[in-house]
Structure 1
Amino acid sequence: MAKMDKKEIRRRDIIAAAQAVAARDGAEGATLRAIAAEAGMAANAVLYYFGSHSEIVAAAVSASSDRFLEKLAEALEPDMSATARLAAVISAGTTAGLDDDVSRILYEYWPHMLRDAQQRGIQEELTRSQERVYRDIIDAGTHSGEFSPLLDPAKIARTLVAQEDGLVMDVLAGSASSESVLDLMGSLAAALLGINAETLCGLIGARAGK
């Protein structure tokens, strides 16, 4: 593995600082000055490594998005059945990032996509990637005979991602528990894919309890 140069190491430190400030103080609190202070640098020094505050924010959100997708991938194993894979992704997608603030950072910046094209692009790519994960599982389960989709698989994948995104917001806000959200996601997926809800929810619960 190639060794990172000092500039790249410093850039990563600044990204980590931006993530830490956003998780602690929110997107509005993650100013250039606050990020620089977190990184132990002067604000003008930070701009040597990034061209602007918005570039730092984009890098921090992209890094958080990448980490979220890594957590989904880490939940899957090659020998899993489609149903087990579905349970793993639902569990990971609903709880991934809650332990290290990845989800909180993504949600802090989500409203920015309404007026920031760069942020919109990052969030849209994350959504497409999440949908691809679900779509691959649905296709595999349909092929194996485990699933009997009630809708077009692409629509089911989009529905599950949208529902997951909204429910994780409830967990972050403290208005819902992870357990209730996981049960709802499992019940919805089971209904849409024609599988036994008790079986799927049991697999999800077992993973969440690990």
Structure 2
Amino acid sequence: MPRPSRAHHRRGELVAAARQAVLDRGVLGLRLRDVADKADMSPGSVLYYFPTLDDLLYEVQRDAVERFCVDREEAARHETDPRRKLVRTIKAGLPSGKDDELCVLLYELGAYARRTPAYAAEHIRLYERQAGLYTAILETGAATGVFALTRDAATIARGLVALEDGLGLHITQAVPTFTPSAAEAMLIAYAADATRCELDV
């Protein structure tokens, strides 16, 4: 009886090794050898499972996008008050600090979106999924009379995502004036103005 293939397991190990290599070295100048060393494999063995380094890093990006989105959606899933749901969603979207693994991965690998369609598609999926999450919260709040939106929900949602992306990048780059708590306060203030609703809940 033939033994079951270990290909799926080995691919998972390589994705984990590539993820750690990006966290340790950054994506610029990352070499196939760096990932191979992390996985205790030869570069040729890595290429057996992933034809190029870009193919492997795409899997790292895809996994990071999915984990980030699921974690964020879960953060406020069972909250019924639109105000608390909005605040919890804001808090869940910001890096915890400069060493926040998921956010560092997303910002590092986002650089590939400028030149590689597959990476760009994941980057767009991440943005749209987050904007959709905010839009649903804002529309529910407006429909129940809790929020009095200053713009349409989609416009406010896209502004929130753009702001948190910029603030998150500053946090992961360790800009001293942008701490997680300061960024959170700025986003909540913007959301409060955009919804005409006090959000100190």
| TM-score > 0.5, shorter chain as reference | yes
Tell me, yes or no, if the aligned pair for 1:97 and 1:104 is still in contact at 8 Å: no
Deviations 1:133-163 (A, max 9, x none): 1011111111111111101111111100000
Aligned partner (choices 183, 186, 189) of residue 188 of structure 2: 186
1:51 Cα shift? Answer: 2.0
Matched with 1:68 is: 68
Tell me, yes or no, if the aligned pair for 1:97 and 1:103 is still in contact at 8 Å: no
Tell me the distance in 2 between the aligned counterparts of 1:110 and 1:140. Answer: 31
Question: What amino acid sits opposite 2:196 in the alignment?
Answer: G
Question: What amino acid sits opposite 2:185 in the alignment?
Answer: D
1:28 Cα shift? Answer: 1.8
Tell me the distance in 1 between the aligned counterparts of 2:60 and 2:88. Answer: 26
1:77 Cα shift? Answer: 3.3
Tell me, yes or no, if the aligned pair for 2:94 and 2:180 is still in contact at 8 Å: yes
Tell me the distance in 1 between the aligned counterparts of 2:132 and 2:75. Answer: 15
Tell me the distance in 2 between the aligned counterparts of 1:120 and 1:23. Answer: 20
Matched with 2:77 is: 77
More helix by share: 1
1:55 Cα shift? Answer: 0.5
Question: What amino acid sits opposite 1:138 in the alignment?
Answer: L
Tell me, yes or no, if the aligned pair for 1:150 and 1:192 is still in contact at 8 Å: yes
Tell me, yes or no, if the aligned pair for 1:75 and 1:89 is still in contact at 8 Å: yes
Consecutive unaligned residues in structure 1, runs of 5 or more: 204-210
Tell me the distance in 2 between the aligned counterparts of 1:61 and 1:79. Answer: 29
Stretches of 4+ aligned residues off by more than 4 angstroms: 96-100
| Residues 64/184 of structure 1: CA separation in 2 closer, same or farther (3 Å cut) | same
Tell me the distance in 1 between the aligned counterparts of 2:30 and 2:63. Answer: 16
Deviations 1:8-42 (A, max 9, x none): 11111111111111111100243211111111111
1:109 Cα shift? Answer: 1.8
Task: Count how many residue pairs are aligned between Structure 1 and Structure 2.
Answer: 196
Q: Greater CA deviation, 71-80 or 26-35?
A: 71-80
Please list, as runs of the form range in 1=range in 2, the aligned pairs for 1:9-48 lying within 5 A after superposition. 9-48=9-48
1:95 Cα shift? Answer: 2.9
Could you tell me the percent identity over the aligned residues? 28
What secondary structure sits across from 2:182 in the alignment?
Answer: helix
Matched with 2:153 is: 153
Please list, as runs of the form range in 1=range in 2, the aligned pairs for 1:77-156 lying within 5 A after superposition. 77-95=77-95, 100-156=100-156
1:100 Cα shift? Answer: 4.7
Tell me the distance in 2 between the aligned counterparts of 1:42 and 1:173. Answer: 32
Consecutive unaligned residues in structure 2, runs of 5 or more: none
